[in-house]
Structure 1
Amino acid sequence: MNIKLKLTVLSFLQFFVWGAWLITIGVYWFGSKHWSGEDFGKVFATLGIASIIMPALTGIIADRWINAEKLYGILHICYGITLLFLPNIVTPENFFYVMLVAMLFYMPTISLSNSIAYYILKNNNYDVVKVFPPIRVWGTIGFIVAMWITNLTGNKASGNQFYIAAAIAFALGIFAFTLPKCPPQNNIPKNASLSEKLGLNAFSLFKDYKMALFFLFSMFLGAALQLTNMYGDTFLSDFGKIPAYAESFIVTRSTIIMSISQISETLFILAIPFFLHKFGIKKVMLISMFAWVLRFGFFSFGAPAGFGLVLILLSNVVYGMAFDFFNISGSLFVETTTDYKIRSSVQGLFMMMTNGFGAIMGSLLSGYLITEYFTLANGDKMWHEIWLTFSGYALVIAILFAIMFKHKHNPELIEKVTH
């Protein structure tokens, strides 16, 4: 199996083991378990807690002590073992703790997979900016396939979704050991400072105004991503409470409708090299932020029929731009602006801000606000107002970013990542 094909398989399986349950867990939580919305916010906060602790830590370990591909394989096997316990849990409190352990194993593998791909491609003289996005597309396809399998097998409200993810996680963990070796790159000099010995060099980037702002806005955009993951499928499924829509495709195949978002991702990922070279990192990230405004705004007026159906479909289409233009571009921005010796650590730091602090902020605050202010006495959620509030949040972030983040486009900076 050639290098690019191996990395393609890696990307596909990486996101399959997440997509099998991430979008449908809300249906399982509210529809099957009938647990509370506030507790649901806490469960999604596990992604954030894990992303604060683990990506930076595993990045340091991969930079210094253990081959990245071996660490990656071990983490996926442990993730698969933990998932096996979830379907048998009977209380939201215990579910929270087991999910936290699962996320401690899984979340760092996202940034590690990027570091592994970048290292292997550059070590084999590939142009990363051109070659990586088409490989990363298969991660999105893996996420889509997992969503479809969960929905079409009738498991979107079943604990079987965790068994599906676990089985593939075991396969991915074993497969990782067949990858080319990715040895530690950051040898510790004899006169190294305590910070260097502990592998904390990456945190010094917070002293740089531009990088500090970049990480700050990464956190705010990470919050937006959690909102759509948490509530998108539940929002569509809730239309089933209206008799006229109960048997509509939007309701019965809500996960497939939501997968349009990931299909959109595959198109926008391929467009990233053009947009980065043409417009630069700031404009690309700004486009992403305004796409989040549209994502939530279209949902707020969406419905399973008529023009409302068009808006739901459009919301899923713009998601690809909203997600990719910040997350993938941000990862490449980190790769082009940091020292190669700490890149695994910095990728972990980027992950910590988006899926760490951002996820916690989005999960807990949205869970609290929806429960306290946007839930009716009978338990129904005020989806129109919820999505409008989220849209307003994204608009404020976009405006602040446009004003505060100063960055001059330099095409040569993008080219640096290939060397």
Structure 2
Amino acid sequence: MNIKLRLTILSFLQFFVWGAWLITMANFWFGTKHWDGTQFGAVFGTMGIAAIFMPTITGIIADRWINAERIYAILHVLYGATLFLLPHAESPNSFFYIMLLAMCFYMPTISLCNSISYNVLKNNNLDVVKDFPPIRVWGTVGFIVAMIITNLTGNKATEGQFYIAGAVAILLGVYAITLPKCPPQNLIDKNAPLAEQLGLNAFKLFGNYKMALF
């Protein structure tokens, strides 16, 4: 199979497993569970919480110890398995913590998906700047297709939306294993200060007025 087509499928599925429930979850929360609106808002905060630290942790692991495509696959299988648990939450609090766990598995896969794509394109002598955007746009298409499927199958207010996302996420994990290998590159010196290893040096960018304003 053409390598760009394989990466297109990767991008499509990456956002499919998010779009299947992200927009329609409110129907399940309010229409089926009849839970409180304030607590529903907190559930969306799980994405931000997970995004603060999980990409850094998985990035260090992928840089030093485990192939990027393997940790990507593991995270998606765990994400899918966690989504299967969500409908069984008996209270908003338990739903929150299960969702937080799911987001800890999912959020770092977004950056890993990009890293894998960049790595594979470069190793195949392709132009990342030219060839990646047409691949990435299919992620948006995947998100939209997932929403359509969830709605047309009558699952926008049922636990089915999480089962759809969970099943495809596990399928994506299996698919990721078949991708070209992306071995650790050891770009970060193991003797580097902890702040550098955690990527905290990036905060120096705020010293630039335009970056701080952005």
Tell me the TM-score normalised to structure 2 length: 0.93
The match for 1:209 is 206
Are residues 188 and 147 of structure 1, via their aligned partners in 2, closer, same or farther at CA, if it must alter by over 3 Å?
closer
Q: Which piece of structure 1 moves more, 15-24 or 33-42? A: 33-42
The match for 2:53 is 53
Aligned counterparts of 1:138 and 1:50: Cα–Cα separation in 2: 24
- Does the Cα contact within 8 Å between 2:20 and 2:162 map onto a contact in 1? yes
Map 1:226-241; keep pairs closer than 5 Å. Answer: none
The residue identity in structure 2 corresponding to 1:61 is I
Shift of 1:186: 1.9
Aligned counterparts of 1:193 and 1:133: Cα–Cα separation in 2: 34
The match for 1:3 is 3
Deviations 1:294-338 (A, max 9, x none): xxxxxxxxxxxxxxxxxxxxxxxxxxxxxxxxxxxxxxxxxxxxx
Q: Does 1:31 align with 2:28?
A: no
Aligned counterparts of 2:205 and 2:106: Cα–Cα separation in 1: 30
- Does the Cα contact within 8 Å between 2:15 and 2:143 map onto a contact in 1? yes
Map 1:106-185; keep pairs closer than 5 Å. Answer: 106-185=106-185
The match for 2:78 is 78
Among all aligned residue pairs of Structure 1 and Structure 2, give the percentage whose two residues are the same amino acid: 65
Shift of 1:195: 2.7
Q: Does 1:194 align with 2:197?
A: no
Map 1:264-279; keep pairs closer than 5 Å. Answer: none
Shift of 1:24: 0.5
Aligned counterparts of 1:108 and 1:211: Cα–Cα separation in 2: 27
Shift of 1:205: 2.2
Shift of 1:203: 1.5
Aligned counterparts of 1:207 and 1:16: Cα–Cα separation in 2: 35
Deviations 1:332-355 (A, max 9, x none): xxxxxxxxxxxxxxxxxxxxxxxx
- Does the Cα contact within 8 Å between 1:205 and 1:211 map onto a contact in 2? no
Aligned counterparts of 1:14 and 1:127: Cα–Cα separation in 2: 22
Instruction: Indicate the structure whose relative CO is greater, using CA pairs within 8 Å and at least 6 residues apart.
Output: 2
Aligned counterparts of 1:210 and 1:155: Cα–Cα separation in 2: 48
Are residues 11 and 212 of structure 1, via their aligned partners in 2, closer, same or farther at CA, if it must alter by over 3 Å?
farther
- Does the Cα contact within 8 Å between 1:205 and 1:212 map onto a contact in 2? no
Shift of 1:41: 1.1
Are residues 186 and 145 of structure 1, via their aligned partners in 2, closer, same or farther at CA, if it must alter by over 3 Å?
same
Are residues 65 and 45 of structure 1, via their aligned partners in 2, closer, same or farther at CA, if it must alter by over 3 Å?
same
Aligned counterparts of 2:11 and 2:26: Cα–Cα separation in 1: 25
Shift of 1:92: 0.5
Aligned counterparts of 1:31 and 1:13: Cα–Cα separation in 2: 28
Query: Structure 1 regions of 5+ residues with no counterpart?
Result: 217-400, 406-419
Are residues 199 and 22 of structure 1, via their aligned partners in 2, closer, same or farther at CA, if it must alter by over 3 Å?
same
- Does the Cα contact within 8 Å between 2:12 and 2:142 map onto a contact in 1? yes
> SS state of the match for residue 184, structure 1?
coil
- Does the Cα contact within 8 Å between 1:120 and 1:182 map onto a contact in 2? yes
Map 1:246-257; keep pairs closer than 5 Å. Answer: none
Are residues 211 and 146 of structure 1, via their aligned partners in 2, closer, same or farther at CA, if it must alter by over 3 Å?
farther
Q: Does 1:64 align with 2:64?
A: yes
Aligned counterparts of 1:20 and 1:212: Cα–Cα separation in 2: 39
- Does the Cα contact within 8 Å between 1:46 and 1:99 map onto a contact in 2? yes
The residue identity in structure 2 corresponding to 1:157 is A
Aligned counterparts of 1:104 and 1:188: Cα–Cα separation in 2: 23
- Does the Cα contact within 8 Å between 1:29 and 1:35 map onto a contact in 2? yes
Are residues 169 and 212 of structure 1, via their aligned partners in 2, closer, same or farther at CA, if it must alter by over 3 Å?
farther
- Does the Cα contact within 8 Å between 2:188 and 2:197 map onto a contact in 1? no
Aligned counterparts of 1:62 and 1:104: Cα–Cα separation in 2: 16
Shift of 1:212: 8.5
Deviations 1:223-279 (A, max 9, x none): xxxxxxxxxxxxxxxxxxxxxxxxxxxxxxxxxxxxxxxxxxxxxxxxxxxxxxxxx
Query: Structure 2 regions of 5+ residues with no counterpart?
Result: none
Aligned counterparts of 1:160 and 1:212: Cα–Cα separation in 2: 47
Number of residues of Structure 1 aligned to a counterpart in Structure 2: 214
Shift of 1:32: 1.6
- Does the Cα contact within 8 Å between 1:206 and 1:212 map onto a contact in 2? no
Q: Which piece of structure 1 moves more, 31-40 or 164-173? A: 31-40
